[in-house]
Amino acid sequence: MDKLKLRSTIEAARASIPEEERHAASVQIRESLLDQPWVQMAGLVACYWSIGTEPATHGLVFALWKHGTTVILPVLRDDDDLDWAVYDGPDTLAPGRFGIMEPVDTRRGVDTIRTAALVIVPALAVDRSTGIRLGRGGGSYDRALARVGPNVPTVALLHEGELLDGVPAEPHDLPVRYAATPGGIVRTAPHLP
């Protein structure tokens, strides 16, 4: 299946999940992540502000911030690369490009993600054996993942059924080390450190 068809199939499946079920799934993902020592010890976490039918990150971002973690969120630049700014509570967000909420804090630059101890990214699917993630097609997160250190945990948040035995890949597609689903956290890409 090609990327466009797979994206369309997954987006349709996500839209069919009842809101209560999506909410419960997001809570399970958040709690599983917060139970991980490598999440608890991360002083700087790069995350994203979820939209639409994505597994919700709002509660996760807030919980990390309340725990004392510095959370940076992406700011979509005009060239579709990701700049980063610090989240400092729910009142510090404003709509950015495409209406996606972004921190109003000073932009820290595209290379700020290099300093993150944990990177949480959106995905429509992840290949369970290679860790290759299927994004929305803009390439923004592949560029950001290329800047992440080799030993930094990278996690894609997924609904059940989105961890697949095969995801179409192109040379620029980069893997994630973990997939977090309502059923738990799965280590992908065993070839990575």
What's the token pair of residue 61? 């971002």
CB 75 within 8 A of CB 85: yes
Query: Where would I find the H helices in 35-158?
Result: 37-40, 58-66, 140-145
**Residue 6 known to bind ligand:** yes
The verdict on whether residue 134 carries a ligand-binding annotation is yes
- pLDDT band of residue 136 (cuts 50, 70, 90) is confident
pLDDT tens-digit readout, 75-129: 999 999 999 999 999 899 999 888 889 999 899 999 999 999 999 999 999 999 9
Q: Is domain 3-187 classified as CATH 3.40.190.80?
A: no
Q: How far apart are CA 169 and CA 164, in angstroms?
A: 13
Q: What is the pLDDT of residues 49-63, one digit of tens each?
A: 999 999 999 999 999
Contact assessment for residue 133 and residue 156, using Cβ atoms and an 8 Å cutoff: yes
Residue 184 labelled as part of a binding site: no
183 is in an annotated binding site: no
pTM: 0.94
**Is 7 known as a binding-site position?**
yes
Question: Is 4 marked within a binding site?
Answer: yes
Cα–Cα dist 111/167, whole Å: 28
C-alpha span between 75 and 82 (Å, rounded): 6
Question: Cα separations (Å) of 94 from 66, 101, 124, 130?
Answer: 20, 5, 25, 36
Q: Which pLDDT does position 138 carry in this prediction? A: 81
pLDDT digits (tens, 9 = 90+) for 159-174: 999 999 989 888 888 8
What's the CA gap between 138 and 108, in Å, rounded?
21
